[in-house]
Structure 1
Amino acid sequence: MKILLVIDRLTNPHAGTEGQFLLLIHLLQKAGCELRVLILANSEWLNANPLPCATVIVGSSSIKSPRTWWRVYAQARQAKADGFELAHIFFNDASVVCPPMFALAGIKSIISRRDMGFWYNPIYRLLLPFTGKFVSCALSNSHAVAEVTANVEKIPRAKLRVIYNGFNRALSADSKVTELETLKLSGAAIFGLVANIRPIKRMQDAISALSRLDFGLYNPHLVIIGAGDPSDLQVLASNLGVSNRVHFLGSRSDIPDCLQYLSAGLLCSESEGFSNAIVEYQFAGLPVICSRTGGNPEAVSQDKTGWLYEVGDVAELSRAMEAVLAEPECAQAMGITAKNEAESRYTIDAMLEQHLLLYRELIGVKS
């Protein structure tokens, strides 16, 4: 089976969508698929990390440029001539340009949607309902995301599919992380937040919630793992008197090693499709405290695998953190339940099999 995978650009292999894109390449190759990756714009990361399959750089990514549309069409015609009948498209600009150009060349398109559409601007809202007419399937990673896609992009519900993110449960924590080892040995209860530092992640809420805890009774610390400039958050922590309790580890590739030190995983986003971080927390056996938005309620069950709170409600978030500190055995039991659920719902094998079934259905190939 020949599959064309398309994405705007690849710059951070640890980011949610890009990480899943790279994982999908690995899994589909292992399953015997012939792949060709089409990337609209080059990047330093891609130059330093060639993909393990045929890769074409379009060299133009602006949806306002006729050159982008023409180059995509030329690549679609070549792909069709080479026997490719289906394209799976990731990110915003590619999902605008590619479906109509691929349709002209006789290639069916799947667009992936993995967030609640915070990126929808007036131009996208105008174009997507039109270019969406050429889409064979809109694939989302949660039912919440699928609902937004149907409403904004006017994709018929018969074309909507949901496949949850897959996670490599073979990953295990087998190395010490010096910074966290020292904290743990000091008796700290560590809350972790894994995400790149962006306004939509509302990391200031976690810092504010931490500052409300009783440091006479407990010894809580907050660890933030992700790329981005932490300077504004560091100023906030200093102003709230918790700078010695908030630690920024930056972007890391040893996330499982870091998670073994945590008491709970946090996610404070104002918008979230289906969070890889939540799945990572759960596979690590952690209870999750997260905002009630997007696909989060599909992954976290209140008082069973964690706590849900309203976006921006710092007091409610702080109370959930205090519950972890006050009843650690209960929190640990929630983490065990979360791990069991994750191992049955978010496996690599399940994600791969569902993708293959969808591809075969659209191409018309029997299993």
Structure 2
Amino acid sequence: MNMWSMWKQPCVEASQGMKSEENVGLRILQVAATSVTVEKLLLPLIDALLAQGHNVDIACANGKHADALITRNYNILIFPFKRALLSPSHALSFWQLFWHLKKTRYDVVHFHTPMVSLIGRIAAKLAGESVIIYTAHGFYFHDQMNQLLRGIIVLIEKILARWATDWLFLQSMEDMEIAKEKRFLIDETHMVWIGNGVNKDAFLAKYDIEGKRKEIGLKKNDKVIAFIGRIVKEKGIVELVEAFAEIKSSQPIAKLLVIGEALESDRDRSTYIKIQSFVKNAGMQNEVLFLGFRNDIPELLAASDIFALPSYREGMPRTIIEAMMSGKPVITSDIRGCREEVVNKETGFLVESRDVNSINKALGKLLSNEELVMEMGEKGRERALALYDEEIIINRQVSIYDTIKQSK
């Protein structure tokens, strides 16, 4: 194969199970950098679109989650997408996506995740795609970023929105306000706040808490803090483990569940090793439990008392909503997205990002006051039920697809 044919080589089409020959609905391509994003975040929308008779292809990088999706008969198209800001794979991904779009001709191409949305929207625009949607799960720029770099990224977002985006979906209301202030789109009616949500039934269900605790090595009376996320520095996991170590002497029955791993696509592969080494050196192997990726998140949250996610930057974290829906108080950073979900001193505590002492104080207040844990957890659940029902979030998006179909 010569170099030019490699650039034009279409993606690997891994499954054909979800195609419909009648094509009664829109032909849609959902695009995300990783298969885990598709499986964990996008399937509710994809399932709703399929249920309405649309034909949905899914473009993502290869991985074990892609295999699971193929097994479930989703139509997966494999591309060499990377999440990193700088990667030689971006050029190959661009050209393969461009030629695929030229060949296939979708009615709607819907992008998720920052880098893929950047190169993908350019490819879709040049390929002449009909309608381009971008969901900003959280803008790449953030408050703690170098201001010059932040300004450059804001400008890029604005140019791409104006030139290569027909509809802009935003999960965070703060992102929505920024998009309006910066006039990312001339037609503000095409900037839609969709919010974020979870399947409430999964988190309201009754579980065998004692049995789950026993399964993962916890005792009935342990005070359990849960962290769920990628094990990378920007999630604040280092500061959380250090804060836990400081408070452990005064809270001997406290335990910390670290749920998640670093993804293959993460540039930060050292943090996981660093915190495991810290835990070992501090003699906390029985207090800090590394559970890896799990498919029983509702049960693990039910078996926990407190949820902590002290990230440096976030979009609109789904894990916080899951914890709130489970009736757990939340400790999280006072940053965009997180502060939209958590009401400080009512449903949890907003702490300073990168500040071990701030996290320590919040943990101490909750671990020493069971009544406060229950009160904040209940208020958090009430807030989640009112604002973060997944069905409402999906319906907002599906209604836009209905509008697009009617305009065809």
Contact 2:27 2:107 in 1 (8 A): yes
Inter-partner Cα distance in structure 1 for 2:27 and 2:176: 23
Pairing 1:338–2:338 present: no
Deviations 1:46-100 (A, max 9, x none): 24531544444456774424xx4454344334544xxx42221112343234334
The answer for the alignment partner of 1:183 in structure 2 is: 218
Contact 1:180 1:261 in 2 (8 A): no
SS across alignment from 2:30? strand
Pairing 1:96–2:118 present: yes
After superposition, where does 1:157-168 map in structure 2 within 5 Å? 158=188, 159-168=190-199
The answer for the alignment partner of 1:141 in structure 2 is: 171
From 184, 188, 207, the counterpart of 1:174: 207
Pairing 1:305–2:325 present: no
The answer for the alignment partner of 1:42 in structure 2 is: 62
Q: Is there any run of 5+ residues in structure 1 with no aligned partner, and where? A: none
Q: Is there any run of 5+ residues in structure 2 with no aligned partner, and where? A: 1-24, 83-88, 263-268
RMSD, aligned CA: 3.2
From 331, 337, 346, the counterpart of 1:295: 337
SS across alignment from 2:289? strand
Inter-partner Cα distance in structure 2 for 1:58 and 1:318: 43
The answer for the alignment partner of 2:42 in structure 1 is: 21
Inter-partner Cα distance in structure 2 for 1:20 and 1:181: 25
AA aligned to 1:300 is V
From 51, 72, 76, the counterpart of 2:101: 76
Structure-2-length-normalised TM-score:
0.76
After superposition, where does 1:268-279 map in structure 2 within 5 Å? 268-279=310-321
Pairing 1:11–2:38 present: no
From 213, 225, 230, the counterpart of 1:196: 230
AA aligned to 1:250 is G
AA aligned to 1:76 is L
Inter-partner Cα distance in structure 1 for 2:64 and 2:299: 27
From 322, 327, 334, the counterpart of 1:285: 327
Q: Shift of residue 179 of structure 1?
A: 4.7
AA aligned to 2:212 is V
Inter-partner Cα distance in structure 2 for 1:144 and 1:277: 18
Inter-partner Cα distance in structure 2 for 1:217 and 1:254: 27
Q: Shift of residue 25 of structure 1?
A: 1.3
SS across alignment from 2:35? coil
Identity percentage of aligned residues: 21
AA aligned to 1:27 is A
- Check 1:79–1:152 CA distance in 2 against 1; reply closer, same or farther (3 A cut): farther
Pairing 1:219–2:253 present: yes
AA aligned to 2:373 is A
- Check 1:128–1:330 CA distance in 2 against 1; reply closer, same or farther (3 A cut): closer
The answer for the alignment partner of 1:321 in structure 2 is: 363
Contact 2:141 2:154 in 1 (8 A): no
SS across alignment from 1:262? coil
Structure-1-length-normalised TM-score:
0.84
